[in-house]
Chains A and B, each alone.
Chain A
């Protein structure tokens, strides 16, 4: 019970150093924060959908990450992006600060708002299942 109170503070506290973690650990943390079971199906739907609330050049996660998270994506600048699925890229979801930075940026670019803990849990659940 006590760690439930500490977790949100830890997540908000913008840590200065890399914080190593695992996809499973992150999934557990976001699910706990959301207070609901994560769903890989909902995660896939969010990832694949075209959204309208964000910036016009980036309507979907797939704009840069492509529809196949096991293969490399490409930034609008032409620079390659390493695959998102941990099965294809073991570096993914192993650094909390990095994960928070990119959810923060990309949710704003695509949705025009922050993602909820439930949405983050759903997307990680789907990516980790691939």
Chain B
């Protein structure tokens, strides 16, 4: 607060505290959380989903707190200090405005708003995908299609955010050179040097206690609304496996859940057991009829899971396997081919080696653990 007052009266060349401790903590915590979310989302596989979600939610919480601070913080933390009219931004970008801004300049202010908006949208599309497509989290009652659209948008926004971050870093470097100061260091120390011709700041005092109260109320409201949204999702895949199905089919492989394929596909598979993925797996007609009946009455159309939507009807060749589909390949692209053939996995068809919940039909990203190699 005293720092803010000092900006106007500080003689030129005097160090001025421009970024308060909360703005700086926000900035570098956001760098850390967005980096973690980017690495886990773009590079690491689905087994890091929990870390990805946690870092994304932290980024969202930081942005929410920063928005509150944008109304209740000190001079340069406030939106009023850096959000300008389009004409001013244009004038700044075209060189019409030569004065130095101690806080964010008009273009920088626009970038701040954009970054906060994109991080907020990323959190919301991510949660929509988690809810609609994976049936977890606060939005699990969203329809599957909305969830899938949310995930697509999430990817596009993530790429957009990367481009914006790159632009932000490049702009900070160029601006540092142009004005002969280290802007990144200012974001660490909070200090800038005041100079003649600096734009005067509209001084504002900070209300840290009020800000904390507002943030606490927001957090409480979110916690309460999440608590009220814990009902089980509709169209859950069948839980109890038919006894004969389990006994016969698990003689050679795990119990592939009926919700993974459509009724048409189950009929094809059960009608061709004498040529079952390279082996004869014939059953007597009575047993075959019973298992077929159970499979088709719990097929993909009865479940709102991601595998049910991605794998049922996805096999290009009707005799082909799920592991030959494009969707399967995309989901497993972060793994090397030899991973699937080492002990104790041995085969791409051995889903449960890494997906602890494979036999439930869910294939939750939280249930993935890539089996460590064991001696054969």
Contact = CB atoms under 8 A, between A and B. Distances in A.
B366 interface: no
Given A14-B284, A16-B286, A108-B274, A78 B279 contact: no
Given A74-B346, A108-B274, A79 B282 contact: no
A75 interface: yes
B253 A105 contact: no
Nearest to A105: B280
Contacts of B278: 55-58, 76
B280 A77 contact: no
A60 interface: no
Interface stretch (B32-40, B98-106, B347-355): B347-355
B252 A75 contact: yes
B345 interface: yes
Contacts of A109: 279-280
Contacts of A53: none
Nearest to A112: B280
Contacts, number: 48
A6 to B, nearest CB: 21
A58 B345 contact: no
B280 A76 contact: no
B344 A106 contact: no
Nearest to B281: A105
Nearest to A77: B253
A77 B350 CA distance: 6
Contacts of B353: 78
Most chain B CB neighbours (cut-off 10 Å) among A16, A55, A74, A106: A55
Most chain B CB neighbours (cut-off 10 Å) among A14, A74, A77: A77
Contacts of A75: 252-253
Contacts of B281: 105
Contact of A76 (B254, B275, B347): B347
Size class of the contact patch on chain A: 10 to 19
A115 B350 CA distance: 30
Interface string B250-280: 1011100000000000000000001100111
Interface in A37-58: 55-58
A75 B274 CA distance: 16
B265 to A, nearest CB: 19
B274 A78 contact: no
B347 A78 contact: yes
A90 interface: no
Most chain A CB neighbours (cut-off 10 Å) among B250, B278, B345: B278
B286 A77 contact: no
Contact of B280 (A55, A74, A78): A55
B322 to A, nearest CB: 13
Contacts of A8: none
A58 B277 CA distance: 11
Contacts of B274: 108
Nearest to B347: A78
Interface string A6-20: 000000001010000
Nearest to A58: B279
Given A58-B279, A105-B279, A105-B281, A78 B346 contact: yes
A105 B284 CA distance: 11
A74 B345 CA distance: 12
Interface of B: 250, 252-254, 274-275, 278-282, 284, 286, 344-347, 349-350, 353
Given A55-B280, A78-B345, 6 more contacts: A55-B278, A76-B279, A76-B347, A105-B280, A106-B280, A109-B279
25 contacts: A16-B286, A55-B279, A55-B280, A57-B279, A76-B278, A76-B279, A77-B252, A77-B253, A77-B347, A77-B349, A77-B350, A78-B346, A78-B350, A78-B353, A79-B250, A79-B253, A79-B254, A105-B279, A105-B280, A105-B281, A105-B282, A106-B280, A108-B280, A109-B279, A109-B280
